[in-house]
């Protein structure tokens, strides 16, 4: 009996480079910005990280899918990538936690995959020429491939909030049964109390969801937040109030938070103008005593800089992986960090009062900011990991300490 060869799949880059490989996942076409990730594990967390919205991700580690897919390791409700490229996609995973194969998972969510290409060659091309847009085409031939590759730019502001268009939209169109199902997802995947989050609706407070806790009250601006950030804040007993990206400063203050958290998310930070305005309002308190502790991660770090008057720029090929060295300039200690971003802060534009606290060991870019007088700081990398090392989890503890100090001063 003659073996049936799988249909061909193609990747066409905007510079005309064509790769031919083997299709897996969804049999169809998809366009996006082609980037690479250097992580050896954590492919499911990469797939479901909302910061990858609009992108086709290439894994430099050659063997992907070996331990399958499970519900507990997801960083959002669904995979966020536009396409997925690997050297070898494992068809028979071996792990007691595995629930489905990578192929099944991507097919289930309409995401085309490409395997069997020289991922080293693709990665070198991106490193040499910079990030390129591309199209994955899974079909019997490459005919019509170029026609399915519109190269116009795309703002990702509307892909924020964990891959949801916005919290307003998800709640406005959600019937009671769907809402109950969503709550069940949150309580199961985020390992939250059975009581779960509940909606907050009032004249002064926009729709948000609340994850109850007995500790500090944290207003979370959600630009595409990873689940593990919420898990870590919840583990510190925070009372979390998660707001849409376009929430005003007045609405956040009306919720009476003890601190403000700025999440990660996809795309160019300059596309998130409403958030920049909101953050800027908190950077100008009536007095230091009225200052709200602020902690930003990744996109939140960039937005904090923009709100303070600094500028950002696009990196040639970004930082994506779980092995990036970052130096804490206060202590001289070097941490191995998890990263996923394509933009950085222009250090020359930083205003007075905002100093660099961390620096990238590979290219010297800004990896952390700290306000000289106020309890405000941010980092470009992901201290919550998922995937990656947890070396920098102390940053969450510092955020809690800042909020408790503020509460102590207020009650004195």
Active site residues per annotation: 298, 382, 384
Strand partners, 138: 9
Q: What's 145's DSSP letter?
A: T
φ/ψ of 19, rounded to 5, equals -115, 135
| CA 248 to each of CA 58, 254, 278, 279: distance values in angstroms, whole numbers, following the listed order | 37, 10, 5, 9
**Residue 51 marked as a ligand binder:** yes
**Residue 215 marked as a ligand binder:** no
φ/ψ of 23, rounded to 5, equals -80, 150
Closest by CA to 45, choosing from 370, 336, 321, 348, is 321
Task: Please say whether the beta carbons of 17 and 129 come within 8 A.
Answer: no
**Residue 299 marked as a ligand binder:** yes
**Residue 411 marked as a ligand binder:** no
**Residue 262 marked as a ligand binder:** no
For residue 289, the SS3 value is helix
Closest by CA to 16, choosing from 165, 146, 195, 150, is 146
CA dihedral 271, 351, 410, 241 (to 10 degrees): 10
Cα–Cα dist 6/325, whole Å: 41
Rg over alpha carbons for the chain, rounded to the nearest Å, is 21
| CA 161 to each of CA 155, 220, 222, 263, 308: distance values in angstroms, whole numbers, following the listed order | 14, 11, 5, 9, 23
Residue with tokens 């068809």: 91
Task: Please say whether the beta carbons of 87 and 119 come within 8 A.
Answer: yes
Task: Please say whether the beta carbons of 190 and 234 come within 8 A.
Answer: yes
Strand partners, 70: none
| CA 279 to each of CA 134, 273, 283, 284, 335: distance values in angstroms, whole numbers, following the listed order | 34, 10, 6, 9, 28
Contact partners, residue 173, CB within 8 Å, separation at least 6: none
**Residue 246 marked as a ligand binder:** no
Closest by CA to 324, choosing from 363, 298, 296, is 363
Contact partners, residue 119, CB within 8 Å, separation at least 6: 36, 58, 59, 60, 62, 85, 86, 87
Residue ranges for the known binding site are 51, 265, 267, 299, 302, 340, 342-343
Residue ranges for the known binding site for L-glutamine are 51, 265, 267, 299, 302, 340, 342-343
């Amino acid at each position: 009996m003659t073996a049936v060869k799988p249909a061909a799949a193609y990747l066409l880059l905007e510079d005309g480079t064509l790769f031919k490989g083997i299709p897996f996942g969804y049999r169809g076409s998809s366009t996006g910005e082609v980037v690479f990730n250097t992580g050896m594990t954590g492919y499911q967390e990469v797939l479901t990280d909302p910061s990858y919205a609009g992108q086709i991700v290439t894994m430099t580690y050659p063997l992907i899918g070996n331990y399958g897919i499970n519900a507990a390791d997801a960083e959002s409700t669904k995979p966020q990538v536009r396409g997925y490229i690997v050297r070898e996609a494992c068809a028979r995973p071996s792990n007691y936690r595995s629930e489905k194969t990578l192929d099944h998972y991507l097919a289930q969510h309409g995401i085309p995959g490409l395997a069997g290409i020289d991922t080293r060659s693709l990665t070198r091309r991106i490193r040499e020429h910079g990030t390129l847009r591309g199209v994955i085409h899974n079909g019997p031939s490459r005919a019509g491939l170029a026609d399915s590759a519109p190269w116009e730019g795309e703002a990702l502001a509307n892909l924020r909030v964990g891959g949801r268009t916005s919290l307003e939209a998800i709640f406005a169109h959600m019937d009671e049964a769907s809402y109950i199902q969503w709550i069940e997802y949150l309580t199961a995947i985020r390992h939250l109390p059975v009581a779960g989050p509940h909606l907050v609706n009032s004249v002064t407070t926009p729709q948000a969801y609340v994850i109850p806790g007995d500790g500090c009250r944290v207003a979370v601006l959600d630009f595409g937040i990873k689940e593990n950030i919420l898990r870590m804040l919840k583990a510190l007993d925070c009372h979390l109030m998660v707001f849409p990206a376009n929430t005003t400063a007045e609405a956040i203050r009306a919720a009476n938070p003890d601190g403000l958290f700025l999440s990660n998310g996809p795309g160019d930070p300059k596309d998130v103008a409403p958030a920049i305005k909101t953050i800027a309002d908190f950077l100008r308190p009536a007095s230091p005593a009225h200052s709200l502790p602020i902690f930003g991660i990744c996109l939140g770090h960039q937005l904090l800089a923009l709100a303070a008057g600094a500028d950002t720029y696009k990196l040639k090929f970004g930082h994506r992986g779980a092995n990036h060295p970052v130096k804490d300039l206060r202590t001289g200690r070097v941490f191995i960090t998890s990263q996923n971003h394509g933009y950085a802060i222009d250090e020359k534009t930083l205003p007075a009062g905002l100093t660099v606290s961390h620096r990238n060991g590979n290219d010297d870019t800004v990896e952390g900011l700290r306000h000289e007088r106020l309890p405000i700081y941010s980092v470009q990398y992901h201290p919550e990991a998922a995937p990656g090392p947890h070396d920098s989890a102390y940053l969450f503890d510092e955020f809690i300490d800042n909020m408790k100090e503020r509460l102590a001063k207020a009650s004195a």
